[in-house]
């Protein structure tokens, strides 16, 4: 098969794929760089959102082009950028009309910034010197007991507070009553606020439940 001149390959790559590179880089800006490599010259043909400080015309340094071409897609894989930050990358082969591999598009995503955020969140969530809840201080923490029971009840039924119907709310009030949740001072008001119900409605339900129990 007759190979195309390098100039024709470069023109094809830029006409067909430069806007794809720009669109991808724009969508994930400022974290993604997209590089198009010209396999006919083994050089960089295009860079969108340059994060790697390479220049157009630089050596592509592609050692396994034949293997990559047969796979069509390689990755995700990781590499270090010039500043030591970790990049997660995907490379895909670009073909001409005859099905011959003529280019390689590499999307390089800076994941270091997200690792930094995760590290901060991990430190924050782990806390410093966190101890178990003092039993002598929270021995009668009726709010926490209500919260624990309520969310256990919701999880068991695969429901959420926002999706509760009127029937569900009445059923939950009955379950909390049987659990003894309304013995705490202001417990009825608290449950009314959490469930988005009127206090009068809560008291009405409790009166009916206590009447049945009596």
pLDDT, tens digit (0-9, with 9 covering 90-100), for 38-97: 988 888 999 999 998 888 988 887 765 555 556 688 888 888 887 778 889 999 999 888
Per-residue pLDDT for 181 more than 60?
yes
Q: Is residue 122 part of a domain?
A: no
DSSP assigned state of 96: -
Q: How far apart are CA 202 and CA 200, in angstroms?
A: 5
CB atoms within 10 A of CB 93: 19
Same-domain pairing of 154 and 106: no
Which CATH number belongs to the domain containing residue 31 in this structure? 3.30.450.20
Same-domain pairing of 72 and 13: yes
Q: Is residue 69 part of a domain?
A: yes
Long-range contacts of 56-59, Cβ-Cβ distance < 8 Å, separation of 24 or more: none
Give the domain-ending residue among 73, 97, 114: 114
Average pLDDT along the chain: 81
Per-residue pLDDT for 195 more than 70?
yes
Q: What is the pTM of this model?
A: 0.57
Q: Is residue 125 part of a domain?
A: no
Q: Is residue 80 part of a domain?
A: yes
How sure is the predictor about 4, in pLDDT bands with cuts at 50, 70 and 90?
A: low
Q: Is residue 72 part of a domain?
A: yes
Structure tokens of 60? 């592509």
Same-domain pairing of 160 and 204: yes
How sure is the predictor about 113, in pLDDT bands with cuts at 50, 70 and 90?
A: confident
**CA-to-CA separations, 157 to 57, 93, 121, in angstroms, rounded:** 61, 49, 31
Q: Is residue 134 part of a domain?
A: no
pLDDT of residue 214: 46
Same-domain pairing of 30 and 79: yes
Same-domain pairing of 176 and 92: no
Strands 73-80 and 43-48: unpaired
Q: Is residue 18 part of a domain?
A: yes
Per-residue pLDDT for 23 more than 90?
yes
Same-domain pairing of 146 and 102: no
Question: For 64-73, 100-109, 127-136, which range has the lowest pLDDT when averaged over its residues?
Answer: 127-136
The residue-averaged pLDDT of 124-137 equals 56
CB atoms within 10 A of CB 107: 21
pLDDT of residue 141: 66
Same-domain pairing of 87 and 148: no
Domains of the chain: total: 2
Q: Is residue 162 part of a domain?
A: yes
Domain that holds residue 97: 6-114
Helix (H, G, I), strand (E, B) or coil at 118: helix
């Amino acid at each position: 098969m007759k190979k195309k001149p390098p100039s024709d390959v470069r023109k094809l790559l830029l006409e067909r794929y430069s806007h794809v590179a720009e669109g991808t880089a724009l969508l994930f800006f400022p974290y993604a760089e997209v590089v198009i490599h010209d396999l006919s010259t083994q050089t960089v043909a295009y860079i969108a959102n340059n994060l790697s400080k390479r220049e157009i015309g630089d050596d592509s340094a592609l050692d396994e082009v034949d293997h990559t071409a047969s796979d069509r897609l390689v990755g995700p894989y990781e590499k270090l950028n010039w500043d030591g930050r970790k990049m997660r990358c995907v490379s895909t082969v670009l073909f001409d009309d005859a099905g011959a591999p003529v280019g390689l598009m590499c999307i390089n995503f800076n994941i270091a910034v997200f690792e930094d955020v995760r590290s901060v969140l991990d430190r924050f969530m782990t806390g410093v010197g966190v101890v178990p809840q003092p039993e002598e201080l929270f021995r009668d923490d009726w709010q926490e007991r209500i919260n624990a029971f309520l969310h256990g009840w919701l999880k068991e039924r695969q429901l959420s507070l926002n999706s509760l119907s009127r029937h569900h709310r009445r059923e939950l009030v009955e379950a909390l009553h049987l659990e003894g949740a309304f013995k705490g001072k202001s417990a009825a008001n608290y449950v009314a606020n959490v469930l988005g119900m009127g206090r009068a409605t809560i008291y009405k339900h409790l009166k009916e439940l206590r009447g049945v129990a009596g």
